[in-house]
Amino acid sequence: MNRLAAGCADSLVMFRRALRRTVRGRDTLLVSALLPILLMLLFVYVFGGAIQVGMPYLDYVLPGIVLLCTGFGASITATGVATDVRGAAVDRFRTLPIYRQALLAGHALEGVVRNLGVVAVVFLVAAALGFRTTAGLSGLLSAAGIVLLLVVAVTWIAVAMGLLARTPEAAGGFTYAIMFVPYVSSAFVRTETMPGWLRGFADNQPATPILGAVRGALTGAGGEVVPAVLWCVGLTAAGYVAAASLFARRVQG
């Protein structure tokens, strides 16, 4: 128990360290918040009038913007991890009596907190644009839970990518691939409008069930929550295992 408490304390120290770095990089933080908002305005007011989805387009597209938002935030996390791992920080931490993976846990926790803050801003802007949810308390809690699981999953994948990349710049580039996933899903259009060969991929990749569950919860239309949760948990586990393995190799090397 004392070992667990010590590990949590070390992780919180690394969290505060990562958070201070983020606060100092205000330009990067501002851009990561503004880009999803600008994309939401673009889709709603430029493309929204031409896309028929059976509901107000803002209500439909909002979960997709949230996924893009986590993708932008993931690039910051991956870059921060790559900077520490490729620099001298890890070598200094190896000489200290701290929990070995506290560095990764700190980056992951900071990424989750930062992304959730940006997601909250996106929802506030959407409300100002006219978004109104018809879901009850259970629907709101369901949507919030899935968004939290999504953010955790994407953040751990970003941590793994930061460890895999050879340079911080490459780490940021790797995570931008996450932002292409929503475009081939139900994020912005219904998959029924896609060619058959593409629809098969769109329907069976992680983004579509996750976004469908969030959208259904927010609109009160319901949705299959279990597949979304399973995808999020599976992606989180894959990201964590990959990150732990890559970090162990780096520390031992």
Residue type, 25: G
Q: What is the pLDDT of residues 181-207, one digit of tens each?
A: 888 999 999 999 899 889 999 999 999
Q: What is the pLDDT of residues 141-194, one digit of tens each?
A: 999 999 999 999 999 999 999 888 888 878 877 777 777 888 899 999 999 989
Domain count, the chain: 1
pLDDT for the residue 112: 94
Q: What is the pLDDT of residues 197-233, one digit of tens each?
A: 899 999 999 999 999 999 999 887 667 889 999 999 9
Tokens linked to 242:
């990959």
96-100 mean pLDDT: 68
pLDDT for the residue 234: 96
How far is it, in rounded angstroms, from Cα 83 to Cα 165? 10
- Residue span of the structural domain in which 243 resides: 2-252
238-251 mean pLDDT: 88
pLDDT > 70? residue 252: no
With contact defined as beta carbons under 8 Å apart, do 22 and 109 qualify? no
pLDDT > 60? residue 50: yes
Output 151 or 36, whichever has higher pLDDT: 151
pLDDT > 60? residue 1: no
Count Cβ atoms within 10 A of the Cβ of residue 218 and give its class: 0-12 exposed, 13-18 middle, 19 or more buried.
buried
Band the pLDDT of 253: cuts 50, 70, 90.
Answer: low
